[in-house]
Amino acid sequence: MHALLYSYLKELPLVINKILPPHRFESFKSSNALELWNKLFFVLSTSGLNLTGDKTRIVRIKENEINISTLGARTLKLGYGKLIIFDDENVSGLPLPTKENEEFIVLDWMANHSCEKHEHIFLNTPDKFVNKIHFYPTDRIDGHHPDIKDMVVISYLDKEQLNDFEYSDTYAKCKVKKIQKDLGIKGTKSGATNYALKVEVKKREIRKAKMNSYEDSPQIKFKYKIDGNKVTHPDLSKINKLLQVGV
């Protein structure tokens, strides 16, 4: 998202090397990051700054030239004087990184198949494994069902932990069930008693927390994110104006 935001604020052309919108609970400057991403993508596309839209498959960096392979086996060649890179996935021709990324954001999407009504929306824990739990109305059933809540569980893991069973989605499910019990959340009511909580992991998403670290060159600069706390008032006004636009 930071590349889209930078392109919008600086009015610079953009090549999106991998489509990866923010997850639905991510925020930027107290705004919903996914909503902002969608509006940025639309506005940059209609203004001609989003050069390849969602068609990019592979980007190859050469001296003064970018070769872009797109959907349908087409190739686009673009010249450049200076290049700013926010993400190195699907990009070749870069220098060797000075440090490889070993930090990952893990999202375990879970369904609560047996759970009584509760008022919890968000929970934060002191642990990096199962750090945040967002409860949301299920989308497994057609219509709006605010009393039937599923969850996304967010963890911050390193490369070694990703391959450790004790940090797997199975362990995350067990930890989440215990947390729910500690909160007083019970399974669906059955007469005078309650069924046991039944939690199912639907899928696990693994995202890089950031790209690898690189040393800048005269032509290529690596930018890792835009610090929301350092956004200037004129830029913030421009972002707020965009958020008010219907897409």
Predicted local distance difference test score (pLDDT) of residue 128: 97
Q: What is the pLDDT of residue 235?
A: 72
Crossing angle of helices 2-10 and 33-46, rounded to 10°: 50
Question: 85-107 pLDDT, tens per residue?
Answer: 999 999 999 999 999 999 999 99
244, exposed or middle or buried, with CB in 10 Å at 0-12, 13-18, 19+?
exposed
Q: The whole model's pTM is what?
A: 0.87
Residue with the larger pLDDT of the pair 50 and 193: 50
Q: Quick check: 247 pLDDT over 70?
A: no
How many CA within 13 A on the CB side of residue 127?
10
pLDDT band at 230 (very low <50, low <70, confident <90, very high): low
pLDDT score of 228: 64
CA distances from 196 to 52, 113, 148, 160 (A): 50, 10, 16, 33
Q: Could you count the other beta carbons within 10 Å of the beta carbon of residue 114?
A: 16
Q: What pLDDT, on the 0 to 100 scale, is given for residue 166?
A: 97
Tens-digit pLDDT profile for residues 184-200:
999 988 888 888 999 99
Length of the chain counted residue by residue: 247
Question: If you average pLDDT over residues 23-32, what whole number do you get?
Answer: 88
